Amino acid sequence: MASRDGHVRVLPLHVANKIAAGEVVERPASVVKELVENALDAGAKTVKVSVLKGGSKLVSVSDDGCGMSRDDALLSLERQATSKILDVDDIENISTLGFRGEAIPSIASVSRFSMTTRRRESDEGVRIAVDAGVLGEVSAAGCPPGTTVEVRDLFCNVPARRKFLRAAATEENHIKRIFSDYALSRPETGFSLFFDGREAFRLAPAHSVAERMGEIIGRDTAENMLPMDSGDVEGVRVTGFVERPDLGTPFRHEQYIFINSRAATTAQISYALKETYPKKSTDFRPALVMFVDVSPRMVDVNVHPAKREVRFRNAAAVKEAVRRAVLSAISPAVRPEGVSVAHTTGSGHACRSLAGASGQMAADAPARACDVVAEPPAAVASAAEPVSAPEPQPVQRRFDEEIPAGFDMPREGEKAFLWKRFKFLAQTATGFIIVETDEGLVIVNPKAARERIAYETLSKRKDGEVPSQTLLMPESVRLSPADAGRVSELLPEISAAGFSIEPFGKDTFKIDAVPVLAADSDLASLLSTIAQDFSGSSARRAGMDWRGELIAKSVAKFSAGMSTKLDENGAVRLVNELCACRMPYVSPRGKPVMIFTSTRELDRKFGNR
């Protein structure tokens, strides 16, 4: 592109490096990713990651790989300097994690950078210092074989980028995820991770993915995973582990997908998972560790700046291989010949057969239909489109007095109801509540209604304490390392939502009290849901308690999803509680709670007028 004066110029090297850094280095976790990839490509058997202040102060990665000579170490600071490819044909056959030669110069251009390295056959190593892209001292160094890179004061010369860094705990969670990716993809390598001198992980080399899996995603989750294997599908093979469909909770879990040992994904994989795995709810995502192996010539890993997404030459074969792999785990009838369902769990116990349980396919999962957002009765003439059909839900909170199944009027001092009166008519087989009002018919989605009621109850913490219930015995809950980190960051907000919770050892929390709405919940699943929702939220709104809002929505969603069938009195109570809500028409996540059809509209449709 021409400059303002119409002349084309070559960018200075330091400017080009900063631009490249904008693509390669998004946050401290990006630095960890690039340096760990270099360590693994160098044949490291052990990798140590140390972080200070969430990585903004220091990211250090040490390995025992092949190391570099003085000349190679200096050359690695030049853009497009790489040992991974020699000519254009090599791009079509990439088997290493890194290959573009941009990571080291990009990182060094936006930090106070040092690298100490030594080849095994050399008597001494070399230390190179770079200050914000400016080469500093180059000196001999006594060091063990391998390489240690220290990145201090990340974005020290790019203050605008530094302002976008999140709290240290948030950055640590991103680093944990990157670390977990490589620890799972390379179980034969030993890994350790330290935050501010505190050990977060120390993983000895493992014999298998199954052995390493329990240390990363949690032993409880790992023990409920089924092995899968697609066999060969036109040169594609998919292996790994997927959560048992008969035990999974109806919410999101961690998914780890590797393509030729690289953490990445593509749309075909997501589509195949959605089409094949039994559906439980719109929020359900099974725990998954999946390895897609394909010839490097059949996959393009260079379509995304951070290599997070790839492109396949035969996308249909990949989709079919994923489908067969998932079915091999959850449906024994389609398991490829020679593939066993027994596996060693992450806790190191003996092989355990899960074939019997895998046959339960959750066939009673509700059917799906399109959703329609309903407006207040006074503003809507009709709403004839169908909504999704959740399972019937019970009432958590009840009025003190008994409410008969019939016409109800607002009690003294209580907020006016949506209608002057209503009458319970029926509950459909799919769980919807049908009531008659003075203005027409209303169909209520009980799951969305309970979610709205629970959310508004929890949101009242701004006006006073959330009602909580003390447990008879404190409950100890152990989470996956990733979820535990997120919950630790959210502890003040979780406590404000009615929990009495505190850390109780590594990845474990002690709970003494919970919100009344969550009294009968599986607390491990509930905390995991909060952690996953937090992980998927990118909100950072100044002046708003967005974390508290997120937790309220998570607890409300969870309590609504764990409910059972309503009887007639329970349905009437639910409608009464809904009518007292500030925003009864939609759930906290924007789903419709009710559909109203006026008497006038019914008469018109039936030709009575």
Query: What CATH number is given to the structural domain containing 198?
Result: 3.30.565.10
Size of the chain, expressed as the number of residues it contains: 609
For residue 1, being part of any structural domain is answered with no
Neighbouring-strand partners of residue 513: 470, 500
352 secondary structure, DSSP code = B
Q: Which of 125, 81, 70 is nearest to 104 (CA)?
A: 81
Identify the helix (H) or strand (E) that includes residue 18: helix 13-24
Q: According to the model, what pLDDT value does residue 48 have?
A: 97
Tokens 């799951």 found at: 447
Say which residue the tokens 């905390």 belong to: 527
Angle value at C-alpha 177, between 528 and 298, nearest 5 degrees:
120
Asked if 185 and 286 sit in the same domain, the reply is no
Same domain, 340 and 386: no
Q: What percent of the chain has pLDDT over 90?
A: 29
User: Do 264 and 147 lie in a common domain?
Assistant: no
Evaluate if residue 509 carries a pLDDT over 80: yes
Final residue in a domain of this structure, among 203, 238, 267 = 203
pLDDT at 419 over 80: no
Does residue 198 sit within a domain?
yes
* pLDDT > 60? residue 93: no
Do 91 and 145 sit in the same domain of this protein? yes
Task: Collect all residues with Cβ–Cβ distance below 8 Å to 89 and sequence separation of at least 6.
Answer: none
Please report the pLDDT score of residue 305 as a whole number. 54
CB contact at 8 A, 445 and 586: no
Same structural domain for residues 318 and 370? no
Let me know whether 487 and 585 are in one domain.
yes
Residue position matching structure tokens 């904008």: 22
Coil, strand, or helix at residue 346? coil
Distance CA 592, CA 393 (A): 16
Residue corresponding to tokens 């190593």: 125
Is the confidence at residue 96, as pLDDT, over 50?
yes
Range with lowest mean pLDDT among 310-314, 349-353, 427-431, 505-509: 349-353
Does residue 2 fall inside a structural domain?
A: no
Residue 489 pLDDT: 85
- What pLDDT score was predicted for residue 50? 97
The span from the CA of 595 to the CA of 256, in Å, is 39
Confidence of residue 347 (pLDDT cuts 50, 70, 90): very low
Q: Which residue blocks in 133-192 are alpha helix, DSSP H? A: 159-162, 168-185
Q: Collect all residues with Cβ–Cβ distance below 8 Å to 428 and sequence separation of at least 6.
A: 434
Strand order in the sheet with 46-52: 134-141, 125-131, 112-118, 146-152, 58-63, 46-52, 190-195, 198-203
- Shared-domain flag, residues 377 and 515: yes
Q: Say if residue 383 is in the same domain as residue 404.
A: yes
* Angle of the 481-489 helix axis to the 168-185 helix axis, nearest 10: 180
**Most confident range, picked from 177-181, 267-271, 279-283:** 177-181
Starting at the edge strand found earlier in the chain, the sheet holding 433-437 runs: 422-427, 433-437, 440-444, 594-598
Instruction: Based on the fold, state whether residues 399 and 539 are members of the same structural domain.
Output: yes
Q: Per residue in 234-259, pLDDT tens?
A: 999 999 999 888 765 555 568 899 99
Is residue 3 one of the residues assigned to a domain? no
Report the chain's mean pLDDT, rounded to a whole number.
76
CATH of residue 217: 3.30.230.10
pLDDT reported for residue 154:
94
Cα angle, residue 595 at apex, residues 589 and 596 outer, rounded to 5°: 140
The set of residues, in sequence order, having a beta carbon less than 8 Å from that of 386 and lying 6+ positions away, is 369, 370, 372
On whether both 247 and 187 belong to a single domain, the answer is: no
Instruction: Give residue 608's pLDDT.
Output: 80
Q: What is the mean pLDDT of residues 366-388?
A: 31
- How far is CA 372 from its chain centroid? 27
Token pair for 381: 């003439």
Structurally, the chain folds into a number of domains equal to 3
Domain of residue 435, CATH code: 3.30.1370.100
**Do residues 354 and 245 make contact, with C-beta atoms less than 8 angstroms apart?**
no
Rounded to an integer, the average pLDDT of 536-562 is 67
- Burial (CB count <10 Å: 0-12, 13-18, 19+), residue 115: buried
Kindly state the average pLDDT of the residues 464-481.
Answer: 82
Do the domain assignments include residue 199?
A: yes
Q: Who wins on pLDDT, 249 or 103?
A: 103
8-state DSSP, 128? E
Burial code (b: 16+ CB inside 10 Å, e: under 16) for 237-253 equals: bbbbbbbbbeebbbbbb
At 540, the amino acid letter reads: R
Given 358, 382, 401, the domain boundary residue is 358
Residue 463 lies in a domain: yes
In a domain, 53, yes or no: yes
Structure tokens at 571: 């349905």
User: Residue 387: which pLDDT band, with cuts at 50, 70 and 90?
Assistant: very low
Tokens of 56: 């903004």
- Domain boundary, last residue among 203, 229, 261: 203
Mean pLDDT across the stretch 85-109? 61
More confident residue, 226 or 8: 226
Alpha carbon 60 to its chain's center: 26
Task: Return the bridge partners of 62, or none.
Answer: 48, 148
Q: Is there a domain that residue 184 lies in? A: yes
Mean pLDDT value across residues 560-589: 82
CA distances from 356 to 330, 338, 360, 459, 492 (A): 10, 17, 8, 44, 43
- Alpha-carbon distance of 352 to 343, in angstroms, equals 6
Residues 389 and 518 in one domain: yes
Residues spanned by the domain of 177 = 13-203
Reported confidence tier of residue 307, pLDDT bands at 50, 70, 90: low
Most confident of 27-36, 68-77, 86-95, 515-524: 27-36
Per-residue model confidence (pLDDT) at position 530: 86
End-to-end CA distance of the chain: 68
Question: Most confidently modeled of 126-130, 271-275, 406-410, 506-510?
Answer: 126-130
Same domain, 346 and 476: no
pLDDT of 181 reads: 93
Distances (CA, A) of 210 to 259, 417, 522: 18, 56, 26
Other beta carbons within 10 Å of 359: 12
Token representation of residue 598: 């006026």
383 pLDDT higher than 60: no
* Token code pair at residue 530: 């909060």
Q: Contact 59/32 with Cβ under 8 angstroms? A: yes
- Would you call 184 helix, strand, or coil by DSSP? helix
